[in-house]
Structures are given as C-alpha cells and as structure tokens.
Structure 1
C-alpha cells in the first residue's frame, strides 16, 4: 500500500519566532526578570528615595545605586527559588502583569498600593474602571506589559540538570545575600531614618506592593461571611416636643464624593467655585477632616458610630449603624445613590430606585449619571409624600461629585467657567492649569447641585427641613506628585483629608429649635471631623441613645442646647 504524502504545514509566526529566538539559562532568565522588576518598573520609588535622602552629590547617588542593587538582588533571590524551568514563564507572566499595572498607578499617579487600595479596586464598578482607561495606559500596557510578556514566551530556557541547577541557585543566592546584607549594613542609618519616617514607601515598590497588600487585605480587611448582625443603639428613641402641631422633620444628608475643602471659595479659595451657595444662609464648617482617604473606608466609618482612631472595619461590616438607629427611632430612612453604592451602610433601609425617565435624562450610554439626577430624584420622592402623613424623614443622597480621573465628565458646559480644561482621563498628561480648572469646574457643578437641593427643601412648607453636606474624602491633583486619593492616612496630604462640610436649616426648623442652630453657628471655625457626624446628626433628629458620644456631639457643646432639653419630655 502506497503511503500518502503528508500535507505540508506552514509553521506559525510564533513558532518561527521561537525557533529563531535566543536560548538562555534559567539563571540568566531570573536575573533579567529581577532587573526588570526591580529597576525598570520602580523609578517612582527611587525618586522618592532620592527625595528623602539627606545627602547631595556623589553620596546621594551612591545611596540610590545601593538601593537599586538591594531591590534587584532581593527580587533575584526570591526568583531563584520560586522559578524553575517548568514554571518560570508562568511566574514571570504573573509578576510582569501585576507589577506592570501597579507600577503604572505608582509612577504615573503617585498612588501608594495598600490594602485599602486593594479594597477600593474590588469595590470599583465597571463605570469607574472605564474612566481609568486612557491612551497613556494603553501605551504603558503595550510597552511595559505586553512586550515583555511576548519576550518571556518567545525566549527558550535551556535545560539543565537538577544538580547543576541547585549548585547555580546556591551560589547565586549567596552572591545576592552578600549584596543585600552588605549594602543594608553599610547604609543602615540612612535606610532606618527614611523608612522610619515613611513607612508606606513599600507601597510604591512593584510588584511587591500589590501582592503583599492583597494578602494583607484578605487576611485583615476582607469582610467575613455569615457573621451575625449585631444590634446597636437598641435604646434609641425620639424626644417629642410638647408643643402641639409641631411639623415633622425632613433631614437631607448629602454624602459628597472627592471634594476637597481647599477648592471651595467658601473656605478662601481664590477662584469663585461657590457662586450659588455663597448667596444662601448656610453654615460653612471650614476645619473638617475625613475618616479615610477613600470611599470604601470613609463611608462605612461615617455611619458606624466609631471614631476614626478606634474604627474597626470588620465590626462595622456586621453591626447596625446610624441609619438603622434613625429607623428604629421612627424615621423613614431612604438612600438615593448616584455612585457605586453605600458600602453596606444602607443595607437595611429603603433604597430609592431612580425612575427610568430620569436616568434617560441625566445618564450617558454607559450608565454614568450627572448629579442633577439627585435633585430630580429628591423632588420626585418628596412629591409622593402625603402632607397629612406626619412621619419624619432622613434622606441620604450619595453623589458622583468630583470623582476622578475623568473630572471633565463631572460638570456640564453651563458650569465650566474655568478654561482651558483637561478633557481626558489621562490627567497626568495635562497641564497643571488645565487639570485644576477641570477639577474646579466639578466643584462649581456640585455648588449648583447643592443649591438646587436646598431650594427644593425650602419649598417643603409642611416640614421642618434641614440639610447637611460633607464629602467622604478629598483629592490630589498633582500636588507633591500625587494624583487621585487613597494615600495611607499617615502620609496623606491635606488635599485628601481636609473636606468641606455645610449645613442649612429652614425657617420652620430655626423657629422650632433656635438653640440648635445657634449652637452650630458658634462652631463653624472649630476643628471637626467625620467623628462628629454620627452623634450630632442623631441629636439634630431629636434621637437619644446611650451610644451617642457626648464628646463628639456638636449640640452637646452648647449650654443653650442643654437648657432647651429641660423643656422636652422623653417619649419612646
């Protein structure tokens, strides 16, 4: 029987590349990978080391070179025993991808990778991820992720006998250890001084930062499943006023997003970013600090009843908070969201579903909505209330605010007085002036939204209405080489922790409770924080409970408010 000739198969481009690719030893493969990870990806880390170095000239250069050698040698030592011929390319790919993307945020935006940043990433929705993509990120990914990945999979790793491999790894490990220990000992005083003052620098070293922070998050911060709900403030009750016909209350709490106090002209900023609010009789508190530097930390903390110094994220995750207590005391509590959710703070209260018609009016094709949707949603919600129904309401609005990096999406043309703008989410590529203008325009738009909300409350004649606005955290727009937010609190600049806070009360509220308003007016210049929200808001709602900390209750600071309480009677 005649054997049929086999059809000729044209080798793939990848196969031809592989055949023509160089063949290197595993030892050299690991060394090149260590140089890539330790040197190429971490220039932002080395810039910080150089910035914190107390020396000049040759001595500063020597410390910088020593630092590079220590990092490269440390990665090399790790890779020597982690990578073997059978898994080297897989492990290299993981390190290149993780290190490449973490290095982008560190080097381009000054972001420090911490467990909190891992939490932010896990809680980020699709819209926020879309806002992070830019031409700059695509170029970075192509050059520093895809290209090295291709090289890793094209190159051939030579086969070596196990005894020879072990001998090579042992000798190379000894050499790496000599470099590491020798340089650390020689520069010990310098490294000790730098890292003692800047402990979070390790969050700038890729890919170590992403890997270590992920492990830390899952060990310490990841929500534990199936924990029983702990009741809190079970004694909460409202103090009823003895005067007949006292109208019920509507308190509107607006949780801002990424607004920083120093960009509010109400706080002395040179550009007029508050043209509408400045014309209203608001109370502006100009010395307020946040609980965290990211939404995933600040929002749960604000509603937990725990001060920042004692905040326990795991406990907050399965314990009742401010909204539960207000609901228990008789308030109709409603959450209306234009952000990425309430971070579990509103799980047990009503969550208002924004009508489709409003979404069509204010949202783009991706589902991202302008904050004026909150004004229309509030008006729609209030229009359904029966004026004969005497139940009081606590309504929480969660803004999109100034969420970055796509600041240009956070305002409309009518509220963009500052030009030129940075019409890109690759903000590090914009001029400082354009970037600042774009962020400031988002504050102008927030000013308009908040003013519209106050005017909506003014029209509710059957209620005492109150308004409280506070941002969850601030934002860096290039100051100190930092962008966005989420820096470790210990090293976070004031731009990320100094937040705006405003209040407004209707004439009916002021007439019924003048002592409350006078007490708050006297504290506008006082040093305050998110710690004051939980006890002070409950007191404003006439709610009493043993869980209200009098030290942080703003109304407890005034003797006048105490005397007023003597004319009130407790009613469970």
Structure 2
C-alpha cells in the first residue's frame, strides 16, 4: 500500500502554492454545494439559457471567494493542514445539506454540541460512510500526496497577489453586473448561506461559541411574587399536573387532527380529552424550543442568553409551593430544570427498555412516573408538577422508537439512512412512533386517573415537528423562517380528571372552546401557571388561554 501511494505521489505533477490554493477552492465551491446551487436555481426564476448562465456566475463567484481567503491563509506550513480541515468540515457537513436538506445554523451547531453518543451513532450510516470516503478521505489523501512547489518569498507573494487580484476583479465584475439578482436572493433569503459548505460550519460555529463564551451573568430572579391563589386545605385534594414534552411529533400525523391513518387509537377513546389542532412551536430543534417554552418569553422576544441565566416556569411553580420534578428520556432539559428535582432513570429500567443503540423506549418515563407517585406519602398534600421529556419520534431511526405491538403500519424503513428508504416505508416508520406515543400518553392518563389522592391533569405538546422527505427535507432544525409546516405545526392536547373537572369546570369548558384557535408554545407559560392556581405579575394575560374566556369564568 505504501509503495502504491509513493507511485501515485510520483505521478502527480508538482504545483505552485498559489495553484494548489485554487485547486482546493474549486473543490470546496463546486464539489460540495449541490443543494446550494439547486436553491439558487429555484429562487432565481430564470429559465432556459439564462438559468444556466446565472448558475455559472454564482459558481465562479463562489470559487473566487474561496480562492481569495485561501491565498491569504495558506502558506508553506499552513497550506495542507488548513486544506485538510476545510475538506473534512466541508465534506461532512455537505452530506447533511445535500442528502437531508439541513441548514447548518448556529442552532444546528448547538444541537451537535449538546447531542449524546447514541444520537451521533445513528447518523453514522453506510451512505454517510461512503460519502465521507469519496468526499473527505480521498480528497485528503490527494492533499497529502500532491507535491507543492514553494517559490522564494518574492515570487510567492507575486503569484499570490496575481491570484488575489484576479479573484477580486472577477468577484467585483460578476457581483456588480448582477447586483439585483444577488441581492434579491441573498437578502430576501439570508439563510441560504447556511447551505454553503464549509463556510456554513465555520460561521455558524463562530456565532455559537462566541455566544457561549459571553460574560457569565448571575441568575435573574423571575416571578418573585408568585403565590398560589387557593391555599391547600385539609379537605381538598392537591393538584397533580403531568406535563409531557414530546419530541419531533408533528400535528399532521395525528389522527386527532384529521390524519387519514388511525395513529391515535387509544387517545381517541378517552373522555375529557381536549385536542388543540392549530399550535406552532417556538423553534425547530429541542435546544431552542424547550428553553423557549419554559422561559416566559414569546418566540419573537426569545433571547437564549437571557433564558440561560433567568428563572423560568418551573422555578416559579416551585416558589409558589409546588413540588416540581423532571424525568428525562431525551437529551436533557437545556437548562429549564436546573433548579428543580431531577429523577434519573434507574439502571434496571434502562436494562429493560433501552436498545442496543443507547436509546430507551418511553416506557421508562411511564414506569418512573408510576414509581415516583407510589413513593409519595399518602399524607403529603403538596401539589405536584411533573415534567416528562419524551424520546418520542426522534429520527432518524424511527423504527427503534416503538415496539412490535405498536407498529401497525408495515413494511417499515429499518435504517438510519432514511433518505435512501422507500417513501411509504419511511412514513410507516414515522407513523408507528406516533402510535407508540398514543399508547404512552393513554397509559399515563390511566395511571394518574387511578391515583385518587390528587385531582389530576395531563398537558402534552411536542417540542417541534419533523420532516420526512417533503421537498427533499428530512429530520428537523431547519431555520424557522424557511421551515416547512411539518417542523413547526405541533400536536397539543390536555386531559382532566373528574375531580379536577368538578373544581374547575369553567376552565375546562373555556379550553374546549379554543380547540381550533391558533395557538403556540407561547401560551404554555401563562396558561399552565393559571391552571395551577398560581398568580404572578410576570404572567402575560393576553397569552393566557383562560383569560380569553374571562366572561365565562366570571
């Protein structure tokens, strides 16, 4: 093998450093950005020869752009290391943009940083490995083998200057002569730049880590005046609210919302269930939606930095007198549960319900909830708010999110390389995850309904939705402004026990009247606190669903 590589090295022509930089620029610009060029083509509105001329202009401009900064960065001791890093970053991220339609945004970098090993393993598919072999490994081998001539400093500077000047002139001429076309696309569709590899991963990583290393702020107390309106009496039953935060479930796949397949066979049979059909998420990824929905900020106002060092919904409920507990089967609470009781799933449960890939079925949440409720002393009158964070419909291995008993739709896609699957098999796999979530939610309702120590309720909503190949887009995390409805239109439902209904019938009738109203995760914070009988000046009355029925409640 070593002899073969030496022969290949000897057969390759020597190139100047400036020419080497141009070769790398051509590879980065033209080989890795098919998805970007497709979007440029579709957004231009051009047809016929004008369409191809415009694509050529964009392609040449991108080559010139990369050549400019490579001529500045790459010198004798940096040329090959920098080129290898760029090929590695560009090649790996280009797989997700070209094959899955993913935008490499700061939020996606956050998802990568905060993901766990099990999620990472599921992305290591055969198509990904083959892609990396052709688009990462082989180009890196080429860079290692090619011989670069390093001229004297004066000649080197002269060559670089010529390449830089030519690239700059080309950029200047092409951009200025097509200024309106460039501005129409890149100003109106700013996020399209997140499809350009490796520029997308470099700029998005810088933005994410720059934000991460901003000055640490002290914790901001929020909702200091929170208190329960109705003190707990010896005769009344305390409240138990189970808030289930779903994962990657989309509203259009719920038969409760009119989907033609019966994906909610159990929930559809439950009395007192209130289904909300028009609800949108705060983000398209867990790292955004979860802290946002608990922050008390709206999607438009949401400031991730402030949310990271300010108390939220769970802190306020705890201050008002609730025992707040978080049980997680996903990738963590993203800071929302840092100051409340966290229950770790036992090793015995993990052994029983976790798969070989490290992911656990959501049965672990159900059993953990049942065990926690059973451990509460009967004389304990403390009201409870319990948050269950689902694994839900997290891709790409949808086939591992359910069991045989809850997989009515066959055949399924049994691979993480979902873009290679037959479309119907992929839909079958995803729909089975919704059937399994239907099972989990119905079992939770039955469990808390049997516990007569409390007046009980359940609130379920997903953190975001999921794409399953619509318009060539898979999974989630697309920039919100460009995200399809599959990623932002989420399911949300509530259930109340008869004991709760007896005490708060007007509340429930109000909620029923809003089932088809346009709502969002913005409504969670004020409405949940109101349902828990908590009063605070930080509750936005306009977003409180119950306030919209004030005449009924009065």
TM-score interval for Structure 1 and Structure 2 normalised by the shorter chain: over 0.9
Q: Which residue of 2 aligns with 1:260?
A: 250
Query: Is the counterpart of residue 159 in structure 1 residue 159 in structure 2?
Result: no
Alignment partners' CA distance in 2, 1:207 and 1:11:
31
Matched, 1:462 2:453: yes
Instruction: Note the C-alpha offset of 1:412.
Output: 0.8
Correspondence list, 1:170-209, <5 A: 170-209=161-200
Alignment of structure 1 residues 447-458 onto 2, 5 Å: 447-458=438-449
In structure 2, distance between residues paired with 1:536 and 1:99: 45
Q: Which consecutive unaligned segments of at least 5 residues does structure 1 have?
A: 1-9, 564-572
Tell me if structure 2 keeps the 8 A contact 1:223–1:314: no
Task: Give 1:198 deviation, angstroms.
Answer: 1.3
Unaligned runs of 5+ in 2: none
Q: Is the 8 A contact 2:507 2:553 kept in 1?
A: no
User: Contact conserved, 2:232 with 2:381, CA < 8 A, in 1?
Assistant: no
Q: Which has the larger radius of gyration?
A: 1
C-alpha distance in structure 1 between counterparts of 2:216 and 2:171, whole Å: 45
Q: Could you say which residue in structure 2 is the equivalent of 1:50?
A: 41
Deviations 1:356-399 (A, max 9, x none): 22212111244310011111111111111222211110000000
- The residue number in structure 2 matching 1:361 is 352
Deviates more, 1:280-289 or 1:354-363: 354-363
Q: Which of 301, 310, 315 is the matching residue for 1:324?
A: 315
Alignment check: 8 A CA contact 1:288 1:499 kept: yes
The structural deviation recorded for 1:226 is: 4.2
Task: State the secondary structure of the residue aligned to 1:336.
Answer: strand
Find out whether 1:248 has 2:241 as its counterpart. Answer: no
Partner of 1:403: 394
Contact kept, 8 Å, 1:110 with 1:482, in 2: the verdict is: yes
- In structure 2, the residue matched to 1:491 is 482
* Corresponding position of 1:568: none
Measured in 2, the distance between the counterparts of 1:177 and 1:243 equals: 77
Instruction: Tell me which residue corresponds to 2:114.
Output: 123
Q: CA deviation at 1:197?
A: 2.5
Within the alignment, does 1:372 sit opposite 2:363 as a pair?
A: yes
Aligned residue for 1:570?
none
Cα deviations across residues 515-559 of structure 1 (Å, max 9, x unaligned)?
111111111111100100001000000000001010111111112
1:435-482 alpha-carbon deviations (Å, 9 max, x no partner): 111111111111111111111111011110000000000011111211
Equivalent residue number for residue 384 of structure 1: 375
* Secondary structure of 1:240's aligned partner: coil
TM-score normalised by L of structure 1: 0.94
CA RMSD of aligned residues (A): 1.6
Residue 271 of structure 1 aligns with which residue? 261
Q: Which residue of 2 aligns with 1:539?
A: 530
CA distance in 1: counterparts of 2:2 and 2:180, whole angstroms: 58
Q: What's the offset of the Cα at 1:176? A: 1.1
Alignment partner for residue 137 of structure 2, among 146, 149, 153? 146
- Partner residue of 2:72? 81
Q: Aligned-pair distance for 1:195?
A: 2.0
SS at match of 2:245: strand
Contact 2:122 2:357 in 1 (8 A): no
Q: Is the 8 A contact 2:121 2:357 kept in 1?
A: no
Distance 1:454 1:223 in 2: 43
SS in structure 2 opposite 1:551? helix
User: Residue 387 and residue 224 in structure 1: after superposition, are their counterparts in 2 closer, same or farther (change >3 A)?
Assistant: farther
> Is structure 2 residue 204 aligned with structure 1 residue 213?
yes
What is the CA deviation profile of residues 80-129 of structure 1, one whole-angstrom value per residue up to 9, with x for unaligned ones?
A: 11111221001100110110011111001000111111111111111110
CA offsets 1:44-69 (integer angstroms, 9 cap, x no match): 10011111121111011100111111
CA distance in 1, matches of 2:232, 2:122: 53
1:169 to 153, 160, 178: 160
The verdict on how the C-alpha distance between 1:422 and 1:506 changes in structure 2, with shifts beyond 3 A counting, is same
Match of 1:239 in 2: 229
Does the C-alpha gap of structure 1 residues 107 and 347 become closer, same or farther in structure 2, counting only changes over 3 Å?
same
Alignment: residue pair count: 553
Residue 373 of structure 2 aligns to a residue whose secondary structure is helix
**Shift of residue 243, structure 1, vs aligned partner:** 7.5
Q: How does 1:279-318 map to 2 (within 5 A)?
A: 279-281=269-271, 282-318=273-309
1:268 to partner: Cα distance: 0.8
State the distance in 1 between where 2:337 and 2:285 align.
Answer: 18
The equivalent of 2:435 in structure 1 is: 444
